[in-house]
Amino acid sequence: MTTTSADGQPPLCPPPPATQRGPSAFAMPPGAVDTHAHVIGSPPRDPWMPDRSYTPSPVAPEQYLRMLDDVGTQYGVLVQVSVHGQNNRLMLETLAAHRDRLRGVVVPSLGLADAEYRAMKEAGAVGLRVNVLFGGGGIDFSQLAEYDALARDWGWHLQFLLDARELPTLAPSLAQLRSTIVIDHMGHLPTTAGVASPGFRQLVGLVRDGAWVKLSGAYRLSDAEPPYADTVGYAQALIEAAPQRCVWGSDWPHVALWRTMPTVGQLLDTLALWAPDPAVRDAILTTNAQQLYGFR
């Protein structure tokens, strides 16, 4: 991954494709949910964190909603992007304006007034994110117990962006949590590590024991081109472990990607490789996600 631009600043991400489409391998089922995407503002109204690892191309709520429509996705879940740190303003405003269609995963500060957390929940926040991979003001493990308590207080789950190679070390801390756990991007584990690696085995066990997992971010795990065929082993092992706790996300607008920029339709065609059984695939896209994010 590119880490700096020529002037020493965090590199500028390319924008996502302007035109999107649904999958070519199957028809999108009614009630489909894209469980992972971002809206991104720009300074001065939406400042970027100075310690960010990339500089995003801003994407407005209108662009995000148009992507959902073009792909044939009824519902969406926005995740607070790391470059905005704990300033959730843009995401919460977007959720509140589309409460029937959107939910969100926030990155809140500890110690806020109850009214602020309540406003997040009423806007549509259903989880909070612990991001230990990318700089930009994310929550880390140092106050995990406090965030677990906060999540329980407000009925939220804990979503983790982590490298599964660290799971053998992190497992004792995760075992103490009482909140529902969701793991981003299949553990963000390079495919070169393999399904037999200790980290991936730990991830499969975590999912089998009750955690949820996002089947997403294939291009973050693979050095291949779409459809990222080398990710099939990971996805199918996770589906086999707990098909009812697997959900799908586009990860639009694909920040921090400087290789081939996929369309969402291509990523859904990858899902068809991961889950060739239509009933399993439809559940991943609909009923599983609807349950986790409160769309039903």
Coil, strand, or helix at residue 59?
Answer: strand
Q: How far is CA 227 from the centre of its chain?
A: 19
**What's the rounded Cα separation, in Å, for the pair 110 and 214?**
26
pLDDT over 50 at 276, yes or no: yes
Domain assignment present for residue 24? The answer is no
pTM above 0.85, yes or no: yes
pLDDT over 50 at 104, yes or no: yes
Domain assignment present for residue 19? The answer is no
Number of domains the chain is built from: 1
**What's the rounded Cα separation, in Å, for the pair 152 and 121?**
12
Q: How confident is the model at residue 9 (pLDDT cuts 50, 70, 90)?
A: confident
User: Taken in order 285, 288, 290, 294, is the CA torsion positive or negative?
Assistant: negative
CATH number at residue 268: 3.20.20.140
pLDDT digit string (tens) for 234-271?
999 999 999 999 999 999 999 999 999 999 999 999 99
pLDDT digit string (tens) for 106-120?
999 999 999 999 999
Backbone phi, psi, residue 192, to 5°:
-65, -20
Domain assignment present for residue 22? The answer is no
Q: 10 preceded by cis ω (within 30°)? A: no
Q: State the residue range of the domain holding 224.
A: 33-293
Residues in Cβ contact with 57 at an 8 Å cutoff, skipping those fewer than 6 apart: 12, 13, 14, 15, 16, 40, 253
What's 246's DSSP letter?
E
The pairing of beta strand 181-183 with beta strand 246-248: unpaired
pLDDT digit string (tens) for 177-227?
999 999 999 999 999 999 999 999 999 999 999 999 999 999 999 999 999
Q: What is the mean pLDDT of the chain?
A: 93
- The pLDDT of residue 1 is 42
Domain assignment present for residue 25? The answer is no
Domain assignment present for residue 9? The answer is no
The answer to whether 64 touches 39, Cβ cutoff 8 Å, is yes
Domain assignment present for residue 3? The answer is no
Domain assignment present for residue 142? The answer is yes
Q: Where are the alpha helices (DSSP H) in 111-164?
A: 114-123, 144-154
Average of pLDDT values for 17-31?
96
User: Taken in order 230, 234, 236, 237, is the CA torsion positive or negative?
Assistant: positive
Domain assignment present for residue 210? The answer is yes
